[in-house]
Amino acid sequence: MNAAEQVYTIPVVFHVIYVTAAQNVSDATIAAQMNRLNLDWRKQNSDTTNILSGFNAIAADTKIQFELAKIDPNGNCTNGIDRIYSHKTYLGSDQSKLNPWPKDKYLNVWVVDNIPSGTSGGITLGYAYFPSATQYAPYSNWDGIIMIYSTCNGSSRTLTHEAGHWLNLNHVWGGGEINVACGDDGVTDTPETKGHFSTCPSIDSSCAPGVLQNINNYMDYSSCTYMFTYGQKDRVRAALESSMSQRNNLWSAANLAATGITPAGQLVLLKQTLQLTEISFAVEVQLHIQEQLH
């Protein structure tokens, strides 16, 4: 298997910061959100059929997947969910990122009640830092994703989007505010755009006449996001293969063993081994019975 085909698995821990029962999202809800994340990143989401013509051909399976950790930093069994009672849930910020697990071993995801939007207005659903921003303290202590609990519901794509930032993807319009000026994200197959906020126009070529914008991209704010491009796939995989913020240790065989994760590809081999063992056992039992009869 060459590097372009290797499936990278990332161990994940959810830190649920709560006071009320509603904020304390259930294990089942977190599992559903993880499923949504993996469907999107592996291009297994059923709504790829809605991708605008011209972009469906460059919609990519990133071959990156995420799995809740089964071993915690102390070597104890875990379900990958850390529940913390704290009023810091109400003003979600870097100061709400309690009990971070080692960033070189886990993707930390914090779930809080609210993230203040400051002077920008609107609602902040979540945020994450680029790998380049979290190499050194204090930001190295805040590496990961923080999101509000109402978007941890099994259907929201907030986590899909923020994982993109965590793996070095910018918004499709680049830096700055949405809908201000046409911009670029540094990825060759995502056209210039101003971005789209909670809308889904059937067509938009306002930045360059005759050039359609990729309104279905997960790194836009449109209401119809269904895809990453091949260029974005190359960028996120490069981030995982880089030592910047120790992303390249996350999917290493040693780390997957330390966090209790079965490496992608070995599950099939394990199933085949179990099947062969069952067949062998069945044959041995049959031979033993036949010997007894004779």
Catalytic residues: 162
Measured CA to CA, the distance from residue 25 to residue 31 in angstroms comes to: 10
Q: Which amino acid is at 164?
A: G
In this structure, what DSSP letter does residue 51 have? S
Measured CA to CA, the distance from residue 11 to residue 247 in angstroms comes to: 11
Measured CA to CA, the distance from residue 68 to residue 19 in angstroms comes to: 23
Nearest to 190, CA basis, from 202, 167, 207, 178:
207
- Placement of tokens 């207005």 in the chain: 121
Nearest to 81, CA basis, from 32, 124, 128:
32
Measured CA to CA, the distance from residue 152 to residue 33 in angstroms comes to: 6
CB burial readout 75-103, b (16+ within 10 A) else e: eeebebbbebeeebbeebeeebbeebbeb
Contact between residue 41 and residue 160 where contact means Cβ atoms under 8 Å apart:
yes
